[in-house]
Amino acid sequence: MNIASYIDHTLLKPQATYSDLDTLCQEARDHHFAAVCVNPCNIAYCAKQLQNSDVRLASVVGFPLGASNSVIKAEETRQAVADGTDEIDMVINIGALKDGDEKRVYEDIQAVVSAAAGKTVKVILETCLLSREEIIKACELSKQAGAHFVKTSTGFSSGGATVEDVALMKATVGDAMEVKASGAVRSYDDAMKMIKAGATRIGTSSGIAILKGGEGESDY
C-alpha cells in the first residue's frame, strides 16, 4: 500500500513561517502526499510552491471552533478558492448540532459547498465533543448538503480520531462520501488502523514519521 497517497501533510500551527511552509511543500512533492493542508493566509504562497506537482492544496474554514457565521464561512471559502485551494476543510456549527437545530447545521454546510463551486469539501465534526447519535446526524446532514468527506477532528480540541468514530462515520455515509481521520494519528500503525476502519485520507503533521515507521510528536 502507498500510504503517502492517503496523507494530507498538515501545518496549521499559528507560528508557521515561510521556511516551514517551504519544507512542508517540498516534503509533499518528494513523497507524493495527497495534499498539504495550511491556514488560509498561506494558500497563495503554497499554491506557488506546489505548481507542476501532483499534490493538492487544502485549507480550513471556520477553524478551529466552527463558530463563525455561515456568511463568513462562505466568504472565507470563496477567497480560499480564489487564492488557489483545491479542497476546503470546514468546521460545523457544533453548538447548533448539539441543540438539535438540523436546519442551521445543514445550511451552514451547504453555504460552504455552494461557495466552493465544485471544489472538494470536507466537513469537520469534532467527534470528541459529540455523542454517537450526533455523529450520525452530522454525517447525514453533510451528505444531504453535498459535501464530499466527513472528517473527525480539528486536532485542536480535547481529542482526535478514534477507530470507532471512523468506522461509525463510514457506516453512516457508505459509498456516498469519504472519511478523513485527523488528530492523534502519529504513527504508521495509527494510520493503518484508520484506513482499515474506512478512512481514505489521514490528516497529520506526522506524515514523514509515518512513512519511516516511527511516531511524530504532534498532530498539527
What's the sign of the alpha-carbon dihedral 95, 181, 176, 198? Answer: negative
Residues 6 or more apart in contact with residue 110 via CB below 8 angstroms:
145, 146
Which residue spans within 113-155 are E strands per DSSP? 120-124, 149-151
H and E: helices and strands count for the chain: 9, 8
Gap between the Cα atoms of 54 and 34, Å rounded: 8
Helix (H) or strand (E) holding 194: helix 188-197
Q: Read off φ and ψ for residue 60, nearest 5 degrees.
A: -115, 150
Gap between the Cα atoms of 177 and 195, Å rounded: 15
User: How many Å separate Cα 93 from the centre of its chain?
Assistant: 15
Residues in the chain: 220
Helix (H) or strand (E) holding 35: strand 35-38
Catalytic positions: 89, 151, 180
